[in-house]
Structure 1
Amino acid sequence: MSTTTELVPREQEEEIPSELTAISQEEDDQIHLNGEKLSENNLRRYDSLDMESGGLGRHRRVDHGGATTGIRWGEVVQLAFQSIGVVYGDIGTSPLYVYASTFTDGIKHNDDILGVLSLIFYTLTLIPLVKYIFIVLRANDNGDGGTFALYSLICRYSKVGLIPNQEIEDGDVSTYQLELPNKPMERASKIKSKLENSNSAKYFLLFATMLGTSMVIGDGVLTPCISVLSAVGGIKDATSRMTEDAIVWTSIAILVALFMVQRFGTDKVGYSFAPIICVWFSFIGGIGVYNFIKYDLSVVKAINPKYIVEYFRRNKDQAWISLGGVVLAITGTEALFADVGPLLPIVLAYTGQASFLRKNNDLVSDTFYKSIPDPLYWPMFVVAVLASIIASQAMISGTFSIIQQSLSLGCFPRVKIVHTSAKYEGQVYVPEINYLLMLACVFVTLGFRTTTKIGNAYGIAVVFVMTLTSTFLVLVMIMIWKTHILLIISYVLIIGTVELVYLSSVLYKFDQGGYLPLGFAMILMTIMYIWNYVYTKKYYFELNHKISPEKVQQVIKETNSQRLKGLAIFYSELVHGIPPIFEHYVANVPALHSVLVFVSFKSLPISKIPMDERFLFRRVQPKNLQVFRCVVRYGYKDVRNEEELFERLLVERLKEFIKEDKFENGKDKNLDVERDIEHLDKASRWGVVHMVGEHEEAAAKGANIGKRVLIDYTYNFLKKNLRQSNKVFDIPQKRMLKVGMTYEL
């Protein structure tokens, strides 16, 4: 299949002005190079469809209720109230199991309690407070955080993405926020250049992002298990009839119920959880103060870090191993994207438990429940169980959000994203993932049965994600913030060293349950890599075989095509040009609708795109063909399943583009504009048909056995057992036409 291309040297990309979207036919003819094919290492290609039209279809009005309008203070307060439960649940329930997980062999010396309390205090200060609250939150992507958001931020400032779908107009989106300094430092430029010119660096960043994503998903499995099991386990102190089996099955019943209510969404769940977590913090803070006063006021000495040094001197390698329990005090920090208020009752809880243990060394395995005053035992038990459910909710919600982000990068198989709140953006539910998480939680709880092994696994997942976040943050400091080199070195030496020490400790317990999150990560990363590999290959196949403008005209004019009444929408992910499946369709069905729109879905490395800036139109010349191209741009947290709303918006934006096109291609064109709009109205009234490519992916002839297994079997197995794209995007089944074609990759 022949293609027509325009090649622009990579070093000239930055020099192409945004207005270079209309050129004369003579200029167009001078830069045509026939028969060229584009591979991942060739020069960037612009086709005439990218050049011939200047109408961008950007609409920045604020009357559509999109992201451009402000949120009222009342809504902010409501969201803040909801976040108390969802955000702070995980880190807030850590006092249930930290001391028991740290002193697994009992307390050898009474001052060891002071050493561990000091470790907890300074770990909470350095990681959640200094690192996340004061530093990481500044690296948010339009309010979104996490490893994926940091990766997207880096992709926005340097061309490290593997899909060549960047367009000059993307930088005009209001939420893109690309704010390069006037005098970029040489260090930042060098790092940026090395990343952009190294395929290894690009793959490493993608690999690290996949690893962080997989670990957080694994965290979404382990958090419910350890939190619920720890809370329910407290009942054995009240009655001897509660056996280990009964505790395990009670925990499983609670977990199943938790996952079953996820379909109602965070909006409804958040309101019910927030008051409970407020009561929880009041209880643990108040009991902490009570125990501090009653048992041992001298534990306040733990603020002196010398007790950490003495703890390591006495216990040596055992102290290092115990760090795997201490690190559980900061579980859930990755979800901590708000105020630091709840850290105070958490510190009070640990301080009170330390005071209690100073007088009761032998009760360390059940510190939390044993330290509760008798009159408060049952109320605290009930609140603890409810708080453990909330802790689980925090990571489950985070998992849904991460899956949504991974989809936009082409790193996860197609699953359905359900937007659970019509009022607030970003609250989503993923049915398939919800049930898989539920099954995983049930099997982990049945298999491990105790919090000790789950805690070992939990620690690895937590510290891995924190270490990867620091790696990305250093790149952000160098490339985007242009931070002073001494501050970067200080961050690496202090925060980085602490996290690496914790990482080495949790990895020591690999054979004691620590293998679980790594096993989860390997399975998830394998799935993500396979999907992303084929996704990238498919995009390059379409890019190499895209149809030139001349070919489009030839297909429409020189075949025996008949123009049918109606509007046809061809769906594709190819941004630059028309996909080859169009020619394949016309060859088999020699009839075309009166108006054709080629719709390409594109994800930008930003979290959300205002609705008024989502559509980008171009017209295929000559005008009388009534053929248009439309790039529909989404952020990685935008929801795409809009069904009828998408059709209506597409037609409305296309009309506005036709009106704008009048001013850019001539003056007295009112008659033509009115005729085109009337033609579009008639076509949409006659009916809209959705053309969806039913691609069959196969390894090319001569491919090695590894590639054949990966594409022909593994990828196609995943594809056949998950939702198809038309179901993901809610394309109406009655008006959908599938067009089959085989892609040899």
Structure 2
Amino acid sequence: MTDSPQGVAQDHAQDDSHAGHGHAQDATWKLALGAIGIVFGDIGTSPLYAFRETFAGHHPLTLDQLHIMGVISLMFWSMMAVVTLKYVVVIMRADNKGEGGSLALLALISGSGSEKRWTAGIVLLGVFATALFYGDSMITPAVSVLSAVEGIAVAAPNLSGLIVPFAVAILVLLFSIQRTGTSRVGALFGPIMMLYFLVIATLGVLSFIKTPEVLWALDPLYAVAFFADDPLAAFLALGSVVLAVTGAEALYADMGHFGRKPIRVSWLWFVLPALMCNYMGQGALLMRDAAALKSPFYNLAPEALQLPLVGVATMAAIIASQAVISGAFSVTQQAIQLGFIPRLRIEHTSAATAGQIYIPIVNWALMVMVILLVLTFQTSSNLTAAYGIAVTGAMFIDNCLLAVVLFSLWKWQKRYALPLLALFFTVDLAYFAANLTKVPDGGWFPLLVGFIVFTLLTTWSKGRKLMLQRLRESAMPIKIFIDSAANSATRVPGTAVFMTSTPEGVPHALLHNLKHNKVLHERVILLTVKISDSPFVPDEKRMQIEDLGKGFHRMVLKYGFMQEADVPAALKQVNDCGAEFRMMDTSFFLARQTLLPSSRPGMMIWREKLFAWMLRNAESAMEFFKLPTNRVVELGSQVEI
């Protein structure tokens, strides 16, 4: 019942006062604290496993000063190039009315009037980035929680057999509380992550002051020397070094909640220094004691403090997982509104915060997959083989979308845009290529999930377009219908609202109702809900009403892709369409389409059957549009695509 219009112009450069949706008046430091709790959980828990994996992972390095200094240098300059320059400085300027993320960026591009030759390929790239996100959202909770709980083996080796059961129990608890919402515990996220970052920074400083020469690793010449000494080993090491920047895309995706400035402040003045202190501390520890490689993160702490550190790290891992789960809910809602996913049941867990939503089917599907990953891979070291390829793939796609923004939207001159893009593409291609070597060891998993989700998203989008096209082809012109039916049919008191996907022609539900019941209501509303390419549509632009004569009215309700459609609430605001709308005098008529296999060109038969299955299992339009259950009539129709 939703349709995504084309050609809605967007502004590419919103200032910070527009980002954050009402948070602009709050103090920047409060938003920065909130950002530390929500945005940086994923990248913040990378020290649990990233440094260790470069030396003990699937392509282990010799544990000597050259390699330790080279890896630290690569991690630092990766953070500077990928996180700081690419995301914090450049991409975060490309907001869609304050919102960020691949889908928001895709909607910004496709709705900006940019050159049509970009459109098809860019849409497919944006959709594939979204599909890869689902693979990443399954791996992140598994690897974060598992790597945190593995500290038990360091602090209490006799309990090492309980690591997997503990991790599974934590994950089951985490997914089980999603229904209740996270607004209450969310207030604790910022202080807990602040404590976590302070702890890991302190441990790192206490370590590297014993071996201060590790500070020279910030010199990029050490990364160059690493590649010059052993190019193949350095290239393969990139597959583990990239783990230090996983979660960078979260800065952009969560921009709508906090705004650009608080996220930049948090990253540059707190998170980045804390992470680098810890990485340099781990490097300094390994220079002094190669035996610490089993868990350099936990071995930074004195033996008496290792168990408390496990507790702090586990809380940080839970927060990182929560952010990814919430992100999966948000991305799913956007994809539904933009027409890439069927309607799903969405529950709001907070009356005060619009973004606090819960989608049951997404929650339980994620839980099953995450637990299967933990049980299958058993250790975080095994899981990191699957980690990274989805992230690097999404980062590469963000580069492609950014190229369109720079040239088509912002009109940058080539002498500025090309060197910047060349840097980003070179770095991301190197990381992506290095991660491809991990495909046989687990990297196949996020790719498989990505291709499955991509198939589902594109099948739904294509099937809906074909179905709407067939409905338009068979629709009777509304003017002819009104002239012929309005005078001959019996008119009965009340209002009939006919929900229709397209604002042209006569809805099938109206034709079926007249055919079977032989009556027309005194007031007939032909209602279409459209989802804009903007994340939010203001109330004053919500509604368009056209008087068609003889008691017929055409009404279009517009919502942003971050908003939910509430038809009864919108109708209560109508004051120029006859009498006031009263739900007890209003009937809503919906058409439920049944698809028939067809030899007409459009989609392959297997995709038609897949689309038909998705259509049958979509959430009822009655619940999706919040229609009163006792005022809805559903009428079936058959469509060939």
| Native 8 Å contact 1:248 1:449 kept in 2 | yes
Return the offset for 1:369.
0.7
Matched, 1:565 2:502: no
| Native 8 Å contact 1:545 1:579 kept in 2 | no
Return the offset for 1:634.
1.2
Which residue matches 2:560? Answer: 635
Which residue matches 1:293? Answer: 209
CA distance in 1, matches of 2:41, 2:433: 27
Q: Please point out which of 154, 165, 170 is paired with 2:109.
A: 154
Which residue matches 1:736? Answer: 632
Which residue matches 1:98? Answer: 50
Return the offset for 1:498.
0.6
| Native 8 Å contact 2:568 2:627 kept in 1 | no
Matched, 1:360 2:289: yes
Give the residue type in structure 1 aligned to 2:495.
Answer: L
Map residues 494-513 of structure 1 onto 2, 5 A cutoff: 494-513=423-442
Which residue matches 2:590? Answer: 692
Deviations 1:296-340 (A, max 9, x none): 100111122121122123332122111111001011111114122
Q: Please point out which of 382, 386, 396 is paired with 1:457.
A: 386
Q: Structure 1 69/525 Cα, relative in aligned 2: closer, same or farther at 3 Å?
A: closer
Q: Please point out which of 609, 613, 618 is paired with 2:541.
A: 613
Which residue matches 1:723? Answer: 619
CA distance in 1, matches of 2:181, 2:28: 18
Task: Using the TM superposition, name which of 129-138 and 536-545 deviates more.
Answer: 536-545
Matched, 1:204 2:129: no
Deviations 1:61-105 (A, max 9, x none): xxxxx9999556348766554332111111111100011211123
Which residue matches 1:263? Answer: 179
Q: Structure 1 274/111 Cα, relative in aligned 2: closer, same or farther at 3 Å?
A: same
Q: Structure 1 575/107 Cα, relative in aligned 2: closer, same or farther at 3 Å?
A: farther
Q: Structure 1 362/240 Cα, relative in aligned 2: closer, same or farther at 3 Å?
A: closer
Which residue matches 2:604? Answer: 707
Q: Please point out which of 149, 152, 155 is paired with 1:235.
A: 152
Map residues 115-194 of structure 1 onto 2, 5 A cutoff: 115-158=70-113, 192-193=114-115
| Native 8 Å contact 1:575 1:601 kept in 2 | no
Q: Structure 1 742/460 Cα, relative in aligned 2: closer, same or farther at 3 Å?
A: same
| Native 8 Å contact 1:81 1:271 kept in 2 | no
CA distance in 1, matches of 2:167, 2:569: 48
| Native 8 Å contact 1:694 1:739 kept in 2 | yes
Residue 492 of structure 2 aligns to a residue whose secondary structure is strand
Which residue matches 2:136? Answer: 219
Give the residue type in structure 2 aligned to 1:506.
Answer: N
Which residue matches 2:242? Answer: 327
Return the offset for 1:632.
0.9
Residue 694 of structure 1 aligns to a residue whose secondary structure is strand
Q: Structure 1 72/302 Cα, relative in aligned 2: closer, same or farther at 3 Å?
A: closer
Matched, 1:536 2:465: yes
Give the residue type in structure 2 aligned to 1:631.
Answer: V
| Native 8 Å contact 1:121 1:347 kept in 2 | yes
Give the residue type in structure 1 aligned to 2:429.
Answer: L
Q: Please point out which of 303, 319, 329 is paired with 2:218.
A: 303
CA distance in 1, matches of 2:297, 2:205: 14
| Native 8 Å contact 1:568 1:689 kept in 2 | yes
Return the offset for 1:736.
0.7
| Native 8 Å contact 1:595 1:626 kept in 2 | yes
Q: Please point out which of 17, 40, 46 is paired with 1:88.
A: 40
CA distance in 1, matches of 2:230, 2:291: 18
| Native 8 Å contact 2:43 2:246 kept in 1 | yes
Give the residue type in structure 2 aligned to 1:724.
Answer: S
- Give ranges in structure 1 of 5+ residues lacking alignment: 1-12, 15-65, 159-191, 659-676
CA distance in 2, matches of 1:78, 1:117: 31
Q: Structure 1 226/213 Cα, relative in aligned 2: closer, same or farther at 3 Å?
A: same
CA distance in 2, matches of 1:562, 1:68: 53
CA distance in 2, matches of 1:300, 1:685: 70
| Native 8 Å contact 1:235 1:242 kept in 2 | yes
Give the residue type in structure 1 aligned to 2:150.
Answer: G
Task: Using the TM superposition, name which of 125-134 and 97-106 deviates more.
Answer: 97-106
Return the offset for 1:491.
1.3
Residue 599 of structure 1 aligns to a residue whose secondary structure is strand
Give the residue type in structure 1 aligned to 2:214.
Answer: V
Return the offset for 1:459.
0.6
CA distance in 2, matches of 1:555, 1:443: 61
Residue 157 of structure 1 aligns to a residue whose secondary structure is coil
Return the offset for 1:108.
4.0
Q: TM-score, normalised by structure 2?
A: 0.91
CA distance in 2, matches of 1:137, 1:264: 31
Q: Please point out which of 518, 523, 533 is paired with 1:590.
A: 518
Matched, 1:251 2:251: no
Give the residue type in structure 2 aligned to 1:699.
Answer: P
Residue 384 of structure 2 aligns to a residue whose secondary structure is helix
| Native 8 Å contact 2:492 2:522 kept in 1 | yes
| Native 8 Å contact 2:490 2:518 kept in 1 | yes
Q: Structure 1 147/72 Cα, relative in aligned 2: closer, same or farther at 3 Å?
A: closer
Residue 496 of structure 2 aligns to a residue whose secondary structure is strand
Give the residue type in structure 2 aligned to 1:118.
Answer: S
CA distance in 1, matches of 2:472, 2:29: 48
Q: Structure 1 566/476 Cα, relative in aligned 2: closer, same or farther at 3 Å?
A: same
Q: Please point out which of 328, 335, 339 is paired with 1:399.
A: 328
Give the residue type in structure 2 aligned to 1:563.
Answer: R
Residue 326 of structure 1 aligns to a residue whose secondary structure is helix
Task: Using the TM superposition, name which of 104-113 and 318-327 deviates more.
Answer: 104-113
Task: Using the TM superposition, name which of 421-430 and 206-215 deviates more.
Answer: 421-430
Give the residue type in structure 1 aligned to 2:417.
Answer: I
Identity within the alignment, %: 30
| Native 8 Å contact 1:453 1:514 kept in 2 | no
Deviations 1:582-640 (A, max 9, x none): 223312221111111111011111111112321111111x3xx1111111111111022
Give the residue type in structure 2 aligned to 1:574.
Answer: T
Which residue matches 2:260? Answer: none
Map residues 278-289 of structure 1 onto 2, 5 A cutoff: 278-289=194-205
Give the residue type in structure 2 aligned to 1:102.
Answer: T
Which residue matches 1:604? Answer: 532
Task: Using the TM superposition, name which of 685-694 and 598-607 deviates more.
Answer: 685-694
CA distance in 2, matches of 1:516, 1:650: 47
CA distance in 2, matches of 1:446, 1:126: 35
| Native 8 Å contact 1:597 1:629 kept in 2 | yes
Matched, 1:626 2:551: yes
| Native 8 Å contact 2:145 2:317 kept in 1 | yes
Give the residue type in structure 1 aligned to 2:396.
Answer: T
CA distance in 2, matches of 1:124, 1:451: 22
Return the offset for 1:219.
1.2
Task: Using the TM superposition, name which of 117-126 and 536-545 deviates more.
Answer: 536-545
Q: TM-score, normalised by structure 1?
A: 0.78
CA distance in 2, matches of 1:79, 1:415: 31
Q: Structure 1 615/297 Cα, relative in aligned 2: closer, same or farther at 3 Å?
A: same
| Native 8 Å contact 1:618 1:628 kept in 2 | yes
Give the residue type in structure 2 aligned to 1:589.
Answer: N
CA distance in 2, matches of 1:436, 1:685: 37
CA distance in 2, matches of 1:243, 1:378: 13
| Native 8 Å contact 1:127 1:495 kept in 2 | yes
